[in-house]
């Protein structure tokens, strides 16, 4: 999927991609970010062709070996590597930048990026079908590296995440709490469900980790107050799986995506069910 750029001028942002054995997806991801000035792949000793493919796309490849402590993979890269630009954009290997996203980023950079960071929406692709409705993830994935950081949480004893920072947002650093966070409205594509078996295994690990994080009250505060309050209200609730299904399928109009929208909403319910089961066992 080749992104056609309206201008040859590079976007002054460093794209950071974390990988481990991603040869099946890394080319699609890197092909979509050619408009950015710098692309760095942080690789965890891949045994496949991930590194070779990344170098073909002129990405800088950085080796990462986790020492079982903090900082974990993302923050380690920021702390230790010579990153060329103050603004960084985190992208997973199963994510792809779109033309509209690039256009919005170009417009924002022209105005000097007035915020400390921006939330980035991920449009799910379900079995090859981009979902136009339903739940979208929304991550603080674009930010100024001097103003925002990944916090250290008490999860080193919990299996499930390992070397990667868990499912929580990075936070504003001391001295920048009054800075605002913006929103990128055009989403990137998130190919999270290409292998259903792998998805289930991966999310079983995540569900165990999330349940232990809830039990130990180890989650950092979300940088957006209403989101933090909603998360605290629903994390332990046995109603959450049903609420997640209703939110994605009804409130967010997932039913307009037909069977794919239904299957996706059910998958979100299934994950929440896994978390609740893990909480019950704790």
Tell me what pLDDT residue 7 has. Answer: 54
Confirm whether 228 is domain-assigned. yes
2 falls within a domain: no
Q: How far apart are CA 12 and CA 25, in angstroms?
A: 25
Q: What is the CATH number of the domain that holds 83?
A: 3.90.550
Question: Is 25 inside any structural domain?
Answer: yes
Domain assignment present for residue 55? The answer is: yes
Angle between helical axes of 258-281 and 196-215 (0-180°, round to 10): 40
Does any domain span residue 4? no
Dihedral (CA of 59, 62, 66, 69) sign: negative
In order of 5, 14, 35, the CA distances from 9 in angstroms are 9, 14, 8
Q: What's the confidence (pLDDT) of residue 224?
A: 86
Tell whether 1 is covered by a domain: no
> How far apart are the C-alpha atoms of 277 and 269, rounded to whole Å?
12
Residue 6 belongs to a domain: no
> Quick check: is 5 in a domain?
no
The pLDDT, as a whole number, for residue 200 is 86
Domain that holds residue 43: 11-281
pLDDT tens, residue by residue, 214-258: 999 999 988 888 989 999 999 999 999 999 999 999 999 999 999
Q: What is the pLDDT of residue 282?
A: 60
| Closest to 89 in 3D by CA, of 160, 24, 18 | 18
Q: How many domains does the chain have?
A: 1
**Nearest residue to 160 (alpha-carbon basis) of 5, 33, 274:** 274
The whole-angstrom separation of Cα 211 and Cα 77 is: 28
> With helix as H, strand as E and coil as C, how does 179-235 read?
CCEEEEEEEEEECCCCCHHHHHHHHHHHHHHHHHHHHCCCCCCCCCHHHHHHHHHHC
Cα–Cα distance between 36 and 28 in angstroms, integer?
Answer: 15
- The pair of structure tokens assigned to 260 is 């794919």
As a whole number of angstroms, the distance between CA 121 and CA 224 comes to 15
Per-residue pLDDT of the chain (282 residues), as tens digits, is 444 444 568 999 999 999 999 999 999 999 999 999 999 999 999 999 999 999 999 999 999 999 999 999 999 999 999 999 999 999 999 999 999 999 999 999 887 778 999 999 999 998 889 999 999 999 999 999 999 999 999 999 999 999 999 999 999 999 999 999 999 999 999 998 887 788 888 899 999 999 999 999 999 988 888 989 999 999 999 999 999 999 999 999 999 999 999 999 999 999 999 999 999 776
């Amino acid at each position: 999927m080749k992104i056609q750029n309206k201008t040859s001028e590079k976007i002054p942002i460093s794209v950071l991609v974390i990988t481990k054995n991603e040869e099946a997806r890394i080319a699609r991801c890197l092909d979509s970010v050619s408009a950015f000035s710098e692309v760095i792949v942080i690789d965890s000793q891949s045994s496949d062709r991930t590194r070779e493919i990344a170098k073909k796309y002129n990405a800088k490849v950085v080796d990462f070996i986790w020492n079982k402590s903090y900082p974990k993979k993302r923050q380690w890269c920021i702390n230790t590597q010579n990153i060329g630009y103050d603004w960084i954009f985190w992208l997973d290997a199963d994510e792809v930048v779109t033309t509209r996203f690039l256009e919005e980023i170009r417009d924002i950079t022209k105005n000097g990026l007035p915020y400390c960071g921006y939330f980035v929406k991920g449009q799910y692709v379900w079995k090859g079908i981009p979902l136009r409705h339903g739940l979208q993830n929304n991550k603080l994935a674009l930010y100024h590296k001097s103003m925002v950081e990944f916090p250290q949480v008490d999860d080193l004893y919990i299996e499930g995440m390992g070397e990667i920072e868990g499912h929580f947002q990075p936070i504003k650093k001391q001295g920048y709490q009054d800075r605002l966070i913006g929103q990128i409205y055009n989403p990137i594509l998130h190919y999270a469900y290409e292998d259903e078996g792998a998805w289930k295994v991966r999310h079983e690990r995540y569900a165990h980790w999330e349940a232990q994080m809830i039990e130990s009250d180890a989650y950092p505060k979300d940088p957006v107050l209403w989101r933090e309050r909603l998360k605290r209200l629903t994390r332990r609730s046995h109603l959450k799986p049903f609420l997640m299904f209703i939110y994605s399928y009804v409130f967010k109009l997932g039913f307009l995506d037909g069977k794919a929208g239904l299957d996706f909403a059910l998958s979100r319910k299934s994950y929440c069910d896994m978390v609740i089961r893990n909480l019950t066992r704790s």
